[in-house]
C-alpha cells in the first residue's frame, strides 16, 4: 500500500529536478543536511545496482540444496528443507507441482515467480533448518555464503555510496544507520580518503560503541558481512535475517546498547530515510520507543522525517504516526505532502551533494558570513552559484557514477590547487573537501581558514556570474590535464584556462612549476589576496564587454574593495574583459 501521488510532490527522476526542489519545496531538507542535522537511515535501495539481490541469495540457497539431494533417499534432509522453504515461502501449489527437484534450479518451471514469492517472505524462508546441521544460520552462512555475496572485494561502490562518502567528508553526514550487510560505503570512503582513514566508524557489536568520538558513525544494526568474514567468532551471530532474529532483536542482550543508541538518535535527530522500506519489526519498535521519549512537533525545521522514495509505503506511514503522535491526526495531509522526496536514491544523493557544496559556498558569501560584502552583491552571487549547480546537474546522464567521479576529481583538483598551488602529480579518486565541518562550525574556526573559503566561494560565484549572464560557458577541469586549468571558459573570443589560488605566492608557485606562463594569452588567474602593483607580467587586453580578457590576474580582495556597492559582478565582468 502506498500514498497516491496526488497527496505529495511530483516524482523527480532527474538530478536537475532534485536540485530545483532542494531550493524550493525541499529547502528545509537541504538546510538540515548542510548543517549536519539529519541522521540517515539507509536501506537496500542504495546498493540495488551494486550487490546481489535477495533473489540471487535465494537462488544460491535453492541451488545448494538441490545439488545435494539424494534422489534414492525419501528422507533426504536437503529435499525436506526445499519442501519447507516452499511452504514457509507461500509458493502456490501450481508452481510447486511444476518443479522437478531432479533438475538444476535454473531449469525449474516458473523460477522467476517462485523467487518473487520467496523474496516477500525471505526472513521466514531463512528460518528453515537442515537436518544434520547444528547452525541456525546454515542457509545464510553455508548455503548462500553471505561472505561471497556481500563481502566480496570486487564489489564496486556506486554513485550512492560515493555521494554518502562525500557528504561525510564535508561534515554533512555524521550519523547513519543501515540494515545493509555490504561494505560499500566504507569502500567508497577508502577510495576518497585512503585506506585506514578513520573517518567512518562501523558499529555492529555493542562493544564497537566504545572509543573516542568519530566524524561519522555507521551503525549496521543487521550486521556486516565484511566484519563477519574477517572475524566470524564475534560478528557472524550479528548477521540478522531470520524472522525470529528480527523480532527478538529488540530484547536481545547482545544489542542492548545498539537499541539505546538508535532510540536516542530517532528522538534527538530528524530522520532522512533513503532506500529503506522500514518494514522490519525492529525498526518499527525503535521508532515506537523514541516516541515515548520525545515526540516531534509539527511543523519543524528541518522536517522531522523524510523518505527518499517516489511513493510513501504503508510501513513508512506507520513511522510517521509514531514520530508525530497526536500531531499526525491533526496534520495528516500536510505531513504526507512534506515527507516524500519524490525521487529514488541515485538522483537524490547526486543532487544532494551538488546542493550541499553550493549551500556551503552560499553561506560564506551571505551578508552574515561576509559582512564586508554588499548585500545586493551577495544576493547576485548566490543566484549565480545556483546557475552553476543547475548547469552541472543538466550534464548528468544515465551513468550517475561517472558524473560523481568526474565531479570529485574536478572539485578536488580545484580545492588542492587553491590551497597549495600544486595539483596532485598523480590524480586519483582522493577527495579534497571544501570544509570538513558544516558551515556554522567552520565559521567559528581560525580567521585565516574562513577567509580562504570565503575567497574561493566568491571567486567561483563571480565566474558563475558570467555563465548566468551568458558571457561565457564553463567546463570543469580535469585533474589528468592540470595545465588546462581548474575551469575553462568559452566565450565569443575563444577559450580561457582559469586557475584559482589563495594568494600571489601560490600563483607564483603554480607558474614556476610549469602549469602556465604569465605570457599565456589564454589564462585567467584569480587569487584571494591583493596583487602586487601591476606590471608587464599582467597584461591588460581589451576584448569588449562580453569577451574574456587573456593573460590576466584578478584579486578578489581588491575587487570587493574597489567595486561600487551592488556592482561587484559588473566590475568583475569588466575587469576580466577589459
Pick the more confident residue, 23 or 4: 23
Alpha carbon distance 416, 429 (integer Å): 13
Mean pLDDT of the chain: 91
Among the listed residues 57, 60, 126, the one whose alpha carbon sits nearest the alpha carbon of residue 88: 126
pLDDT at 519: 81
Which ranges of 38-172 does DSSP label H, i.e. alpha helix? 54-67, 77-88, 93-98, 111-120, 122-125, 138, 146-150, 159-169
Neighbour tally for 252: CB within 10 Å: 15
Among the listed residues 366, 416, 410, the one whose alpha carbon sits nearest the alpha carbon of residue 392: 410
3-state secondary structure 112-127: HHHHHHHHHCHHHHCC
- C-alpha distance from residue 338 to each of 29, 312, 349 (Å): 10, 11, 18
pLDDT at 457: 96
Phi (first) and psi of residue 330, to 5 degrees: -80, -25
Phi (first) and psi of residue 323, to 5 degrees: -65, -45
- Averaged over 267-287, what is the pLDDT? 94
Residue 310 reports pLDDT greater than 70? yes
pLDDT at 540: 40
Residue 535 reports pLDDT greater than 50? no
pLDDT at 369: 64
Element (H, E) at 271: strand 271-274
Q: Which residue has the cell 534414492?
A: 72
Alpha carbon distance 103, 542 (integer Å): 80
What confidence tens digit (pLDDT) does each residue in 112-159 have?
Answer: 999 999 999 999 999 999 999 989 999 999 999 999 999 999 999 999
pLDDT at 37: 97
pLDDT at 552: 83
Q: pLDDT band for position 575 (50/70/90)?
A: confident
Chain centroid to CA 490: how far? 31
pLDDT at 46: 97
- Averaged over 493-514, what is the pLDDT? 93
pLDDT at 117: 96
pTM for this predicted structure: 0.93
Residue 328 reports pLDDT greater than 70? yes
- DSSP annotation of 340: B
Alpha carbon distance 385, 355 (integer Å): 10
Q: What percent of the chain has pLDDT over 90?
A: 80
pLDDT at 544: 32
pLDDT at 6: 40
What confidence tens digit (pLDDT) does each residue in 164-176 have?
Answer: 999 999 999 999 9
- C-alpha distance from residue 107 to each of 46, 59, 63, 365, 401 (Å): 31, 12, 11, 63, 35
pLDDT at 532: 55
- Verify cis geometry, omega within 30 degrees of 0, for the bond prior to 142: no
- Averaged over 532-555, what is the pLDDT? 51
- Averaged over 81-97, what is the pLDDT? 95
CB 487 within 8 A of CB 472: no
pLDDT at 539: 40
Q: pLDDT band for position 11 (50/70/90)?
A: confident
In 3-state terms the chain splits into helix, strand, coil percentages (rounded to 5) of 50, 10, 40
What confidence tens digit (pLDDT) does each residue in 347-371 have?
Answer: 999 999 999 999 999 999 986 766 7
Return the bridge partners of 216, or none. Answer: 200
User: Could you report how far apart the first and last alpha carbons of the chain are, in Å?
Assistant: 63
CB 157 within 8 A of CB 183: no
Q: pLDDT band for position 492 (50/70/90)?
A: confident
pLDDT at 3: 44
The C-alpha R_g of the chain, in whole angstroms, comes to 28
Q: DSSP 3-state assignment of 371? A: coil
Q: pLDDT band for position 86 (50/70/90)?
A: very high
* Range of lowest pLDDT (136-140, 262-266, 324-328, 395-399): 324-328
Which ranges of 278-374 does DSSP label H, i.e. alpha helix? 281-293, 314-324, 326-330, 332-338, 345-365
Element (H, E) at 39: strand 39-42
Contacts of 447 (CB under 8 A, 6+ apart): none
- For every residue of 464-517, DSSP letters joined together read HHHHHHTS-EEEE--TTSGGG-SEEEEETTEEEEEEEESSHHHHHHHHHTTS--
- C-alpha distance from residue 152 to each of 229, 275, 401, 450 (Å): 10, 22, 20, 42
- Verify cis geometry, omega within 30 degrees of 0, for the bond prior to 299: yes
Q: pLDDT band for position 548 (50/70/90)?
A: low
Beta-sheet pairing, 487-491 with 473-476? antiparallel
- Averaged over 312-341, what is the pLDDT? 91
Among the listed residues 557, 572, 564, the one whose alpha carbon sits nearest the alpha carbon of residue 462: 572
CB 129 within 8 A of CB 86: no
Residue 485 reports pLDDT greater than 50? yes
Residue 572 reports pLDDT greater than 70? yes
Amino acid at each position: 500500500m502506498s500514498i497516491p501521488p496526488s497527496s505529495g510532490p511530483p516524482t523527480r527522476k532527474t538530478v536537475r529536478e532534485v536540485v530545483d526542489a532542494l531550493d524550493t519545496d525541499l529547502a528545509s531538507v537541504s538546510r538540515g543536511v548542510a548543517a549536519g542535522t539529519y541522521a540517515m537511515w539507509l536501506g537496500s535501495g542504495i546498493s540495488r545496482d551494486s550487490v546481489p539481490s535477495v533473489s540471487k541469495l535465494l537462488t544460491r540457497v535453492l541451488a545448494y540444496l538441490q545439488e545435494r539431494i539424494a534422489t534414492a533417499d525419501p528422507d533426504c534432509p536437503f529435499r525436506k528443507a526445499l519442501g519447507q522453504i516452499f511452504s514457509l515461502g507461500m509458493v502456490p501449489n501450481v508452481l510447486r507441482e511444476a518443479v522437478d527437484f531432479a533438475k538444476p534450479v535454473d531449469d525449474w518451471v516458473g523460477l522467476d515467480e517462485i523467487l518473487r514469492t520467496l523474496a516477500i517472505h525471505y526472513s521466514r524462508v531463512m528460518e528453515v533448518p537442515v537436518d544434520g546441521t547444528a547452525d541456525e544460520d546454515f542457509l545464510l552462512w553455508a548455503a548462500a555464503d553471505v561472505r561471497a555475496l556481500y563481502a566480496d572485494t570486487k564489489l564496486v561502490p556506486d554513485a550512492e555510496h560515493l555521494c554518502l562518502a562525500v557528504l561525510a567528508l564535508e561534515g554533512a553526514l555524521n550519523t547513519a544507520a543501515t540494515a545493509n550487510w555490504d561494505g560499500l560505503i566504507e569502500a567508497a570512503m577508502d577510495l576518497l580518503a585512503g585506506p585506514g582513514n578513520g573517518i567512518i566508524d562501523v558499529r555492529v557489536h555493542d562493544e564497537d560503541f566504545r572509543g573516542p568520538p568519530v566524524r561519522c558513525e555507521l551503525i549496521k544494526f543487521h550486521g556486516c558481512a565484511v566484519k563477519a568474514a574477517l572475524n566470524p567468532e564475534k560478528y557472524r551471530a550479528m548477521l540478522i535475517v531470520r524472522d525470529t532474529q528480527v523480532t527478538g532483536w529488540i530484547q536481545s542482550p547482545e544489542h542492548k546498547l545498539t537499541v539505546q543508541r538508535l532510540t536516542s538518535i530517532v528522538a534527538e535527530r530528524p530522520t532522512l530515510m533513503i532506500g529503506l522500506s522500514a518494514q522490519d519489526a525492529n525498526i518499527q519498535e525503535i521508532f515506537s520507543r523514541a516516541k515515548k521519549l520525545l515526540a516531534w512537533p509539527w511543523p519543524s525545521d528541518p522536517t522531522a522525517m523524510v523518505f527518499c522514495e517516489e511513493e510513501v509505503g504503508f510501513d513508512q506511514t506507520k513511522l510517521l504516526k509514531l514520530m508525530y503522535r497526536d500531531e499526525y491526526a491533526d496534520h495528516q495531509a500536510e505531513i504526507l505532502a512534506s515527507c516524500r522526496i519524490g525521487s529514488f536514491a541515485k538522483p537524490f544523493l547526486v543532487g544532494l551533494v551538488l546542493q550541499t557544496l553550493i549551500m556551503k559556498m552560499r553561506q560564506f558569501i551571505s551578508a552574515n558570513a561576509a559582512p564586508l560584502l554588499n548585500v545586493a552583491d551577495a544576493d547576485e552571487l548566490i543566484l549565480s552559484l545556483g546557475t552553476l549547480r543547475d548547469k552541472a546537474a543538466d550534464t548528468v546522464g544515465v551513468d550517475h557514477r561517472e558524473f560523481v567521479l568526474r565531479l570529485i576529481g574536478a572539485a578536488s583538483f580545484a580545492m588542492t590547487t587553491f590551497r597549495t598551488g600544486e595539483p596532485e602529480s598523480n590524480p586519483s579518486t582522493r577527495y579534497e573537501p571544501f570544509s570538513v565541518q558544516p558551515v556554522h562550525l567552520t565559521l567559528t574556526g581560525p580567521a585565516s581558514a574562513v577567509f580562504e573559503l570565503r575567497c574561493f566561494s566568491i571567486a567561483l560565484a563571480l565566474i558563475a556570474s558570467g555563465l548566468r549572464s551568458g558571457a561565457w560557458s564553463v567546463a570543469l577541469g580535469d585533474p589528468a590535464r592540470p595545465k588546462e586549468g581548474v575551469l575553462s571558459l568559452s566565450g565569443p573570443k575563444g577559450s580561457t584556462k582559469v586557475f584559482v589560488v589563495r594568494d600571489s605566492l601560490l600563483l607564483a608557485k603554480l607558474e614556476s612549476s610549469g602549469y602556465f606562463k604569465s605570457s599565456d594569452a589564454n589564462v585567467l588567474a584569480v587569487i584571494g589576496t591583493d596583487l602586487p602593483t601591476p606590471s608587464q607580467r599582467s597584461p591588460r587586453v581589451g576584448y569588449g564587454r562580453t569577451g574574456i580578457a587573456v593573460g590576466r590576474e584578478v584579486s578578489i580582495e581588491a575587487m570587493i574593495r574597489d567595486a561600487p556597492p551592488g556592482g561587484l559582478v559588473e566590475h568583475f565582468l569588466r575587469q576580466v574583459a577589459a
